[in-house]
Amino acid sequence: MEVRIESMICLWDDKIPTMFLEFVNLLTLATSEEQLRRSVKDFAEKHELDRFFLYGFGSHHFYLHQRYTSDPEMVMKNRILSVHF
Write out pLDDT tens, residues 44-63.
999 999 999 999 999 999 99
Domain ranges of the chain: 2-84
Q: pTM value?
A: 0.92
H-run or E-run covering 41: helix 33-46
Which amino acid is present at 68?
A: Y
Q: What pLDDT score was predicted for residue 17?
A: 97
Q: What pLDDT score was predicted for residue 61?
A: 98
Number of H helices, E strands in the chain: 3, 4
Write out pLDDT tens, residues 3-28.
999 999 999 999 999 999 999 999 99
29 falls in which pLDDT band (50, 70, 90)? very high
